[in-house]
Amino acid sequence: MPADPPAKSAPAATGPRKTPLHDVHQDLGANLVDFAGYLMPLRYRSETAEHQAVRTGAGLFDLSHMGEIFLSGPGAGDALDYALVGKLAAMPVGKARYTMICAPDGGVLDDLIVYRLADTTWMVVANAANADVVRDALAERAAGFEAAVDDRSASYALIALQGPRSQKILEGFTEAPLADLKYYAILAGRVADVDALVARTGYTGEDGFELFVDASDAVRLWKALEGVDGVVPAGLAARDSLRLEAGMPLYGNELTAETTPFEAGLGRVVKLDKPGDFVGRSALAAVAQTPPGRRLVGLVARGRRAPRKGYEVVTSGGAPCGIVTSGAPSPTLGEPIAMAYLDSGAGETGLAVDVRGRNEPVDVVALPFYKRS
């Protein structure tokens, strides 16, 4: 056996950081793994059951590894418009935007959700593995603006409640008007006697909420929500299969510093029409004018074997024509699914994926694989 089961490591003094919910995960018997320098729950019991709970009821996630970087000051909006590819200065208070931070050559440094919390305050949520890169780039790019960059990742915990029952469940713990809170919006309120930023965002393809709270309040909030009948703690394995079904890109898989937003099919986040320059603008403007060299597609396997990250896509003649970026058996569809980059010029019929030396036929399908009804 062996080869590539996910690496497991015990916590050590110099090892991965623990989230404020570490002891809770241990008590729940979580399988903990080092993910982006944090000891995170991969699964508690069955990742498939956790996945299904989010699709049909509610799942509870610890996402405290994510980075929370605040920009504030009269020039914060302009600083973000210069630093990121989206239009952030003009967004209304209480709204969220999915956007990206790119290198001068147009490569993606991270994908982000940016929340406007107040007139002169924005919160940038970065992937854990990139939080330091994003913070440093923001500090550097905001230098010429009247804006302060403050990395508060260590003082915040992030707990997500995701699934169709989320609103009903959360309403049991707050007076905040959740029914009026739209998708990609945020409000400040009290939840389970804890101050929280309540955002209607997520990474699962379901309705749901992300709750930003002080690290010292994390356990209290988690225990309140976990105590609700039917709320299932869910780990990173379920999070990954949920986002894959929802066709959402993962940094390190679909998005890398060698990928532009256009190749990933996310050119719409690049606002070339915004006033003023931004980092990556000239490179991205050029990319926008040329047909992309490769394109991200969805694959469904006809057999039972799952295409995995790094596997080659081949033509009916056996010639390599692309590479799989993410793949797994889909619990909702009951068949293996994958995302892959196809080379320009590659057709979309008669394709197969080289699964450990055997060509397994796949069909190209439109993303996402799953859309909530």
Contacts with another protein, residue ranges (CB under 8 A): 1-6, 8, 29, 31-32, 42-43, 46-48, 237, 241, 304-306, 308, 328-329, 331, 356
Residue 363 C-beta: closest distance to another protein, Å:
19
Torsion (CA) 157, 19, 254, 84 in degrees, nearest 10 = 40
Q: Between residues 169 and 355, which has the closer beta carbon with respect to another protein?
A: 355
- Residue 354 pairs with which residues in a beta bridge? 359
Residue 33 C-beta: closest distance to another protein, Å:
10
Residue 46 C-beta: closest distance to another protein, Å:
6
Q: Between residues 175 and 304, which has the closer beta carbon with respect to another protein?
A: 304
Q: Between residues 25 and 165, which has the closer beta carbon with respect to another protein?
A: 25
Q: Between residues 28 and 283, which has the closer beta carbon with respect to another protein?
A: 28
Taking Cα atoms as reference points, which of 19, 15, 56 lies closest to residue 213?
19
- Residues annotated within the binding site for substrate are 210
Residue 232 C-beta: closest distance to another protein, Å:
15
Residue 11 C-beta: closest distance to another protein, Å:
12
Positive or negative torsion for Cα 189, 191, 194, 199: negative
CA dist., res. 125 & res. 117, Å (int): 12
| Residues in contact with 66: Cβ distance below 8 Å, sequence separation at least 6, in sequence order | 125, 126, 127, 128, 131, 153, 158
CA dist., res. 354 & res. 287, Å (int): 30
Residue 52 C-beta: closest distance to another protein, Å:
12
- Residues annotated within the binding site are 210
* Widest pairwise Cα distance in the chain: 63
Neighbour count for residue 364 (Cβ, 10 Å): 17
Q: Between residues 152 and 308, which has the closer beta carbon with respect to another protein?
A: 308
CA dist., res. 85 & res. 99, Å (int): 7
Q: Which two three-digit tokens encode residue 317? A: 């003649």
Q: Between residues 153 and 326, which has the closer beta carbon with respect to another protein?
A: 326
* Residue located via tokens 């080379």: 343
Q: Between residues 83 and 362, which has the closer beta carbon with respect to another protein?
A: 362
Neighbour count for residue 172 (Cβ, 10 Å): 11
CA dist., res. 297 & res. 9, Å (int): 34
Taking Cα atoms as reference points, which of 131, 160, 360 lies closest to residue 242?
160
Specify whether the backbone of 156 is left (phi greater than 0), alpha (psi in -120 to 50) or beta: beta
Residue 28 C-beta: closest distance to another protein, Å:
11
